[in-house]
Structure 1
Amino acid sequence: MRQGPEEQLPNRAADAVTTGQMAALLRALRRRHARHNRDRELTYREIASRTGWSTTAVAEYFTGHTLAPTDRLDALVRLLGATSVEQGALATARDRIDEHRRSGRPRAPISARPVLRQLPPPPRHFSGRDEELAVLDGLIDGTRAAGVVAIAAIDGAAGVGKTTLAAHWAHRTADLYLDGQLYVDLRGFDPSGRTVTAAHALRSFLSALGVPDSQVPASEDAAAALYRSLLTGRRVSILLDNAYDSAHVRPLLPATATCTAVVTSRNRLTGLVALDGAHPITLGPLPQAAAHIVFATRIGDGRAEAEPAATATIVGLCAGLPLALGVAAARAATNPHTPLQALAAELSAARLDALTGDDPRSDTRAVFSWSYHALTVAAARLFRMLGLHPGTPISVAAAASLAAVSVTEAGAALAELVRGNLLSHRGADRYLIHDLFHWYAAELVRDTEPDGVREAATHRLLHHYLHTAHAAARPVEPPLQAPAPGVVAGDPGDDASAWFAAEHTALLRAIDIAVARGQDAITWQLAEKLGDYLDRRGHWNDLASIQEAALTAARRLREPLSEAGAHRHLARAHLRLGHYGQARTHLSAALELAQRHGDRHAEGRTWLSLALLSEREGRLDAARDQARHALGICVEMEDRPGQARALNAVGWYQALLGEYADALAHCERSVTLAAEVDDPICQANAWHSLGYSHHRLGDYHQALTCYHQALGRFRQAGDDHLAGLILTDLGDAHSCLGDTVAAGGAWREALALLDNVRHQDAEKVRARLAH
């Protein structure tokens, strides 16, 4: 008997080379499955329910829009009754199609950006929400069919699981978005009031999409337009978490039907629904059955089954709030020998009336209070004090300073808070508090600690960051004035750049706290310590922001030399961003202040900055003369570190002007002097200048030696910006020697570093690689 199309499946699979042909094979398999079971064909929704995938994902596989990943294809064909022979044939076909698809595409340019992967980790314990997941799946189906953007607006009370739902769904549908996922926590309800603005989020998204920092438009409208343009034609899902209102997220919405945006907020985003076509999803507490599963899964089904009445009591008192269930489960899990009935009694005594009220915040507070009151005195005090912290990951030393205890005592208290699920552990020395717990801690410290205690704790925290930043930024300088009692200065370790990177956000927020408290001295000192790090890592907008605050603080302090320093840092930020007019304005102000108050050291540093600006403007003769003027001042003041930097600057501009013999003489003196005063950054710059001069003189081997000397020092300093530029020149020297393999390797490494800091010279490196 002649075989039907479905029975010839292995033969058809052997010829399949497109996703459309694979989809046809899957549809044939589904028809055969229905015929063998004497039933109708399984619907996409039924297949999604049995596999745990989204309906949209299933539809994409059966229509040929997406090639199913290997593990999903295996599961799907087994569900549809494929024999072992057919499973092997289909798996082979899938690999062939994937390879054919890759080889058939034009080769991706060297500049191809990685797929965006910004989602937070998927939730470990997820149950219920089937109805909401189905709505989200259906939203994509409906909007894509209509050719419009899919926008979901999920609202609900604090702790109800909005972020958990959105993250779970985003991970479940990740394979539908070939270009990846964008994520931002907008912190719309942050107790510190430091909301992430749409403008800041746009800068972050544009950076992830490959826009150099210097090319991000200044206005929010222009940045939003560029963002929408870059998303056109891409398949990206965007999770906008913790928005305050509709206006907060509107600039972040895509304008192409290939993208999906999911917004979460404690407020109902009626404006987004009315004006932007968002689909509202109001999230209530978990149903009793789902809440029971969440709690029982976390403590162990056997324990829950052994005490069903106590389990039901605890689950009921948690009012279906996932976060409250997590706290209760952590309390039970960390007390494995305590009967659940005893824990239920404790929870019942912790303001049961609030738990059964109609105010979700009161409900959450009651559950938190139950966990809080179970802490030791030391851990409870530290938990309260965390309400004064910015809410970023906190180190043990910072926690010790906040509470005025030893590092050992702080570590023990932090560990207790982690066991109670009030903190999460982030790396070897970092702990993170959830937003809701942070809000609760801020309320506790406000209501229970006197003003003087709060002021002293905040003062200690700021001094912790100041003294640790000083150690990281200026390890060879004399220490600051001794810290106040109770302050623990952290140890940045050998890799100061890594410490700055880990504390980046905390340091910026510490400056915000200092500004809000009128702590002008701490404001400009912290800003000064951060300057070099932010410059090296390409965070030039942050550099400009904190130096504006430092400038205001210095003016209030009536300290003109501090004001001059802030002007110089601001000029550096504007110079990096290509705002040369603003850079010149700030440098002119810095020079006038230095000259008026007779600070020749500051004057010399300012002349060096003016020389750099002249170089950027293409006025090399002026740059060389300004550097010479700076050198003369440094010699006059017997400023040996300044002399080393000025010697290199003079030599560099001479090299750019083709005066190579003079350039070599100046830069060799700079290398020697920089080594004597232990200034590795100056040494690195001088070695680079020497390499550049030898390169232009045709001595490529000597140029390579010099470039490697510079590269090692920049890498040790964590300066990705300058290391990338050195690697570019290194590749050029290899190319001149005919070693294309070494040249390509250096350029690829340079491109990765320059892309990392969004440097405009990355395009020049791409051009080298392309040719």
Structure 2
Amino acid sequence: MTARWGALLRRHRIRAGFTQERLAEAAGVSIRTIRRWETGGRGQPHGPSVRRVVQTLDLTAGEGEQLLAMAADPVRAQRRTASPPRLRPVDFGSFVGRVAELGRLTADLTGARGRHIVVVHGPRGIGKTFLAWRWAAGHSARFPDGQLLADLRGFGTNAGAQAPSDVLYDFLLALGVAPGEIPGGIDERAALYRRVVAGKRLLVVLDNARDSNQVQPLLPANPAGAVLITSRHRLSGVAVGSGAESMALAPLPDSDARRILATSIGTRRAAGEGSGELLAFCGGQPLVLAAVAARAAARPELGLRELTEELRELTAASPASHDRTSGLAAVLGEYHPDVELMELGSGLLTQAHHLNEAGRPDDALSAITDAEAVYRQLDRQTPGFYRAGPLADCLMNKSLQLLDLGFAAEAVKASAEAVELRRPSDDDPGQRWAPTGGLLRMLVAGLENHAVLLCAVGRRSEALAALTEVVELRKRFVTAKQAGRTVSPRG
């Protein structure tokens, strides 16, 4: 085994967002094996184990072949000429608009003038990363010496920002430098990096940069290629020190925003009643629009005006409602410090779905339980904000999974807790139910699901009580709405 093979595995693992423990679990190998591989321990990697790791990391065909070849015959593999590094392919099926911005990037990054460095800046969710990847994918032929990508994680909360020294190490590996030839200090690494890329027609994409200091060591001294940077800030230091162009990314115009909505819910519904109000609420932010479109597609029976009212209620209860550029931003975690945990919980529930599809219900329950732990942590950090939505939904999924596995009592307990989490407290003015009734509908849906589960386990009298409460809540809601009053859970 060679240190080069282990270093390459480490780079692919980090890029894919795996810890050593998670990769070992997902690929079905021991954590000791992953650690031994990455540290260049003795012994030849076992072929089937390496193949499982390659599949888990979802590498491109070329990357997977390179890793397998180095594991099978490291000496011969190292003698091969390294292929130019390339960005992984991305599906841009939902990419809409930005024609003028793409054209300006082409002019600035490939034109005759300037340093060919551009900083695309704007608030989170405005589409900076998507724009950068779209442009890079469409212009790969202009950069025959390859493309380098680093997510600098400048605004992450759980995984800290990438140190420039670590990014330089990964870049040098990708460019064919052996691990033993990479110096330890950042200045020495930066100098070696600039020597290696000197004169190369190479595209460097630095995504999610925190500040100019994080970016400066990663800039070629005199790029023959181009550098594309994304950040929430203008990075004036890069403009002054390196002559970078600056591009502020604005919200999408209404026509493009409506096209994004139409890709998920159809042209007729996207142009129908309530669509203008919903689009105005989203503020032209692609991330928000995509999330709203997915929510609308999952609930075809819900009118777009009702959906907008529901989202307004959720946003009003957000702890970040004072600091947002669109109504739904805080609900999505746009300005909330726990967005990574929210994404982890969502990823675990998606994993559970696929495990069930693969005939592994026990593993699916384990993934749902992990997601529950994530949402409970979020609830402890921001009491009340996640209970009625993500945590309650997760517990309902858990109850159904437990029922399928034959744990009836545990299933009823999880379902009952999901219902209680959806009951707002009269003591908390931020949890009152407005006449539009979005939060009320969440409780009603939970009670209806709980009633179905109670019937399934033979507890029909309790199921009838739950359905009776549903009817009473609906009556109370109708009466309060007609009177123009706010309705609470107790009348």
The TM-score normalised by the length of structure 2 is 0.53
Asked whether the 8 Å contact 2:85–2:148 carries over to 1, the reply is yes
Whole-angstrom CA distance in 2 between matches of 1:169 and 1:262: 10
Question: 1:236 is matched with which residue: 193, 197, 202?
Answer: 202
**1:316 and 2:251 matched:** no
**1:136 and 2:102 matched:** no
Asked whether the 8 Å contact 1:153–1:262 carries over to 2, the reply is yes
What secondary structure sits across from 2:255 in the alignment?
helix
Shift of 1:394: 9.8
Match for residue 328 of structure 1? Answer: 292
Correspondence list, 1:616-631, <5 A: none
Amino acid at match of 2:291: V
**1:347 and 2:311 matched:** yes
What secondary structure sits across from 2:160 in the alignment?
coil
Shift of 1:349: 2.9
Correspondence list, 1:144-155, <5 A: 145-146=112-113, 149-155=115-121
Match for residue 10 of structure 1? Answer: none
Asked whether the 8 Å contact 2:216–2:238 carries over to 1, the reply is yes
Shift of 1:299: 2.2
Match for residue 290 of structure 1? Answer: 256
Asked whether the 8 Å contact 1:384–1:445 carries over to 2, the reply is no
Per-residue displacement from partner, 1:273-330 (whole Å, max 9, x unpaired)? 111101011112212221111111232223323x2x3222221111111111111011
Correspondence list, 1:191-590, <5 A: 191-192=157-158, 194-305=160-271, 307=272, 309-351=273-315, 359-360=323-324, 363-368=327-332, 386=341, 407-411=363-367, 445-448=380-383
Kindly, what percent of the aligned residue pairs are identical?
A: 33
Whole-angstrom CA distance in 1 between matches of 2:348 and 2:167: 20
Q: 1:158 to 1:396 in 2, by over 3 A?
A: same
Correspondence list, 1:8-87, <5 A: none
Shift of 1:119: 4.3
Shift of 1:366: 3.5
Asked whether the 8 Å contact 1:239–1:261 carries over to 2, the reply is yes
Per-residue displacement from partner, 1:551-591 (whole Å, max 9, x unpaired)? xxxxxxxxxxxxxxxxxxxxxxxxxxxxxxxxxxxxxxxxx
Q: 1:411 to 1:338 in 2, by over 3 A?
A: farther
Amino acid at match of 1:127: V
Whole-angstrom CA distance in 2 between matches of 1:150 and 1:351: 41
Correspondence list, 1:95-106, <5 A: none
Shift of 1:333: 1.5
Whole-angstrom CA distance in 2 between matches of 1:384 and 1:129: 26
Q: 1:123 to 1:356 in 2, by over 3 A?
A: farther
What secondary structure sits across from 1:261 in the alignment?
strand
Shift of 1:363: 4.2
What secondary structure sits across from 1:293 in the alignment?
helix
Asked whether the 8 Å contact 1:388–1:442 carries over to 2, the reply is no
What secondary structure sits across from 1:386 in the alignment?
helix
Correspondence list, 1:107-122, <5 A: 111-119=80-88, 121-122=90-91
Asked whether the 8 Å contact 1:236–1:259 carries over to 2, the reply is yes
Structure 1: state its 5+ residue gaps: 1-108, 373-382, 418-437, 451-771
**1:161 and 2:122 matched:** no
State the superposition RMSD in angstroms.
4.0
Asked whether the 8 Å contact 2:119–2:247 carries over to 1, the reply is yes
Amino acid at match of 2:156: D
Q: 1:236 to 1:170 in 2, by over 3 A?
A: same
Question: 1:170 is matched with which residue: 130, 136, 140?
Answer: 136
Match for residue 498 of structure 1? Answer: none
Shift of 1:211: 0.8
Whole-angstrom CA distance in 1 between matches of 2:384 and 2:322: 29
What secondary structure sits across from 1:331 in the alignment?
helix
Asked whether the 8 Å contact 1:387–1:442 carries over to 2, the reply is no
Structure having the larger proportion of residues in helix: 1
Whole-angstrom CA distance in 2 between matches of 1:291 and 1:304: 10
Asked whether the 8 Å contact 1:202–1:252 carries over to 2, the reply is yes
Shift of 1:265: 0.8
What secondary structure sits across from 1:326 in the alignment?
helix
What secondary structure sits across from 1:178 in the alignment?
coil
The TM-score normalised by the length of structure 1 is 0.35
Shift of 1:344: 2.6
Whole-angstrom CA distance in 2 between matches of 1:358 and 1:120: 38
Amino acid at match of 1:258: A
Amino acid at match of 2:233: N
Match for residue 411 of structure 2? Answer: none
Amino acid at match of 2:314: A
Shift of 1:412: 5.5
Q: 1:185 to 1:356 in 2, by over 3 A?
A: closer
Amino acid at match of 1:239: V
Q: How many residues align?
A: 298
Whole-angstrom CA distance in 2 between matches of 1:187 and 1:237: 19
Per-residue displacement from partner, 1:594-631 (whole Å, max 9, x unpaired)? xxxxxxxxxxxxxxxxxxxxxxxxxxxxxxxxxxxxxx
Q: 1:185 to 1:168 in 2, by over 3 A?
A: same
Structure 2: state its 5+ residue gaps: 1-77, 356-360, 386-491
What secondary structure sits across from 2:148 in the alignment?
strand
Q: 1:140 to 1:351 in 2, by over 3 A?
A: closer
Q: 1:385 to 1:269 in 2, by over 3 A?
A: closer
Asked whether the 8 Å contact 1:154–1:283 carries over to 2, the reply is yes
Whole-angstrom CA distance in 1 between matches of 2:124 and 2:377: 16
Q: 1:310 to 1:161 in 2, by over 3 A?
A: same
Whole-angstrom CA distance in 2 between matches of 1:301 and 1:386: 34
Amino acid at match of 2:148: L
Q: 1:239 to 1:411 in 2, by over 3 A?
A: same
Asked whether the 8 Å contact 2:152–2:162 carries over to 1, the reply is yes
Whole-angstrom CA distance in 2 between matches of 1:286 and 1:274: 29
Amino acid at match of 1:160: I
Match for residue 665 of structure 1? Answer: none
Match for residue 482 of structure 2? Answer: none
Per-residue displacement from partner, 1:666-702 (whole Å, max 9, x unpaired)? xxxxxxxxxxxxxxxxxxxxxxxxxxxxxxxxxxxxx
What secondary structure sits across from 1:238 in the alignment?
strand
What secondary structure sits across from 1:242 in the alignment?
strand
Asked whether the 8 Å contact 1:319–1:355 carries over to 2, the reply is no
Whole-angstrom CA distance in 1 between matches of 2:287 and 2:125: 5
Amino acid at match of 2:381: R
**1:127 and 2:96 matched:** yes
Whole-angstrom CA distance in 1 between matches of 2:299 and 2:90: 27
Q: 1:118 to 1:390 in 2, by over 3 A?
A: farther
